[in-house]
């Protein structure tokens, strides 16, 4: 047993981080989000160039066998890449396109954008070239996340996934990749809070010297680290129950950490300029896209 990243995995992770920070760093994120005026009605457009660059870098073909032109890596590596995507809040239907890379022409190259209904919601439906699964009667809603346009599909569609993925590994795999993004976001908001707590002074000292703020930050780290081992272990075993647990803990870590990060930022945290709200809103969306906490808890209980 050696439950630590291998050298190759570390290299992959830092490589993806470098790529994403260079191509979709803080400024790109703010530019994509825009000024956030009160109407909030603009629907974001998908950056097709970025999508193709991701395809060229092998992001979508990570799990496609080498014989089919892919990178031929396994689920743990995919999870590390999606963690990095979550850190920078990379927009787009990443999970559906990734899962379609083997079956849908052009998906692996980032040329074809694929979406799918999941958890009763369809992200990026208008921007997608292909929708896998039943999206008939999809109704647009004004998405809380400025970088994730959403449609709702009728209640008669199962709250999980289309037939090709329903109750199957595909559904669990999508959950795990969403959980990995949540993990990246949770770790990132922890860093943001710590950085702000070191810089911001009040009463003549950095606010990070106050226990009340310290304890918020410490709990953020604990949540992120517990989610990390849950997500990584689920990626290694591929066990459906372990994935359910990982999604549960990662959803909680992403949402709670974003909220605590907002609190540490004080009034600034409540503004559009701080990136904190973007993490919170995306965390809500991802929690809504995958398996819900209630269902995960029931599944885990049934297995006790």
Partner 1 sequence: MDLTYTQEEESFRAGLREWLARTLPQLPARPDPLDWPGRRAYDMGWQRRLYDAGYAGLHWPVDAGGRGATPTQHLIFLEETEKAGAPYVGANFVGLLHAGPTIASEGTPGQRARWLPPVLRGDEVWCQGFSEPDAGSDLASLRTRAWRDGDDYVVSGSKIWTSHAEVADWCELLVRTTPVSEDVPKHRGITWLAMPMDAPGITVRPLRTLAGSTEFAEMFLDEVRVPVANRVGAENDGWRVTMVTLSYERGTAFVGEVVACRRVLGELAREARKNGRWDDAVLRRRLGRLGAEFGALWRLTQWNVSESQRAGTGVPGIGGSVFKLRYSHARQELYEAAGEVLGAGALDLDHEWTLDRLSSLSYTIAAGTSQIQQNIVAERILGLPKGR
In the complex, the residues that contact partner 1 under the rule CB under 8 A are 1-6, 9, 76, 190, 194, 197-198, 205-206, 208-211, 213-215, 217-219, 221-222, 225-227, 229-230, 232-233, 235-237, 242, 244-246, 248-249, 294, 296-304
Nearest approach, Cβ of residue 195 and partner 1 (Å): 10
The pairing of strands 150-152 and 139-141 is antiparallel
Pick between residue 3 and residue 156 the one whose CB is nearest to partner 1: 3
Whole-number Cα distances in Å, 163 to 20, 93, 122:
33, 19, 15
Pick between residue 103 and residue 298 the one whose CB is nearest to partner 1: 298
Pick between residue 135 and residue 246 the one whose CB is nearest to partner 1: 246
Q: Answer positive or negative: Cα dihedral of 17, 18, 20, 25.
A: positive
Pick between residue 101 and residue 213 the one whose CB is nearest to partner 1: 213
The tokens for 99 are: 């899962």
Q: How many CB atoms lie within 10 A of CB 100?
A: 24
Q: Give the whole-angstrom CA distance, residue 87 versus residue 143.
A: 20
The tokens for 241 are: 């129950």
The tokens for 87 are: 């850190």
Nearest approach, Cβ of residue 276 and partner 1 (Å): 17
CB 178 within 8 A of CB 289: yes
Pick between residue 122 and residue 220 the one whose CB is nearest to partner 1: 220
Nearest approach, Cβ of residue 225 and partner 1 (Å): 5
Nearest approach, Cβ of residue 190 and partner 1 (Å): 8
Nearest approach, Cβ of residue 224 and partner 1 (Å): 10
The tokens for 174 are: 């999508």
Pick between residue 64 and residue 249 the one whose CB is nearest to partner 1: 249
Q: How many CB atoms lie within 10 A of CB 200?
A: 15
Nearest approach, Cβ of residue 222 and partner 1 (Å): 5
């Amino acid at each position: 047993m050696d439950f630590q990243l291998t050298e190759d995995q570390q290299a992959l992770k830092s490589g993806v981080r470098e790529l994403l920070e260079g191509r979709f760093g803080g400024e790109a994120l703010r530019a994509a989000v825009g000024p956030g005026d009160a109407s909030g009605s603009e629907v974001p457009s998908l950056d097709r160039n970025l999508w193709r660059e991701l395809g060229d870098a092998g992001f979508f073909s990570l799990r496609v066998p080498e014989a089919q032109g892919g990178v031929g890596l396994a689920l743990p590596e995919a999870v590390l890449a999606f963690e990095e995507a979550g850190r920078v809040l990379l927009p787009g239907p990443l999970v559906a396109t990734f899962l379609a890379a083997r079956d849908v022409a052009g998906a692996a190259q980032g040329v074809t954008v694929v979406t799918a209904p999941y958890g009763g919601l369809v992200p990026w439906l208008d921007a997608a070239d292909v929708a896998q699964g039943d999206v008939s009667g999809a109704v647009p809603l004004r998405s809380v996340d400025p970088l994730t346009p959403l449609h709702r599909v009728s209640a008669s569609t199962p709250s999980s996934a289309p037939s090709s993925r329903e109750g199957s590994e595909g559904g669990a795999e999508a959950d795990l990749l969403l959980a990995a993004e949540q993990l990246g976001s949770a770790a990132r908001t922890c860093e943001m809070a710590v950085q702000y707590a070191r810089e911001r002074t009040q009463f003549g000292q950095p606010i990070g010297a106050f226990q009340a703020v310290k304890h918020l930050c410490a709990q953020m780290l604990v949540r992120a680290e517990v989610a990390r081992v849950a997500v990584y272990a689920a990626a290694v075993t591929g066990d459906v129950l372990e994935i359910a647990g990982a999604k549960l803990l990662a959803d909680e870590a992403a949402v709670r950490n974003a909220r605590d990060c907002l609190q540490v930022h004080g009034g600034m945290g409540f503004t559009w300029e701080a990136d904190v709200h973007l993490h919170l809103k995306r965390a809500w969306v991802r929690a809504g896209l995958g398996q819900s906490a209630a269902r995960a808890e029931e599944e885990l209980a049934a297995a006790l």
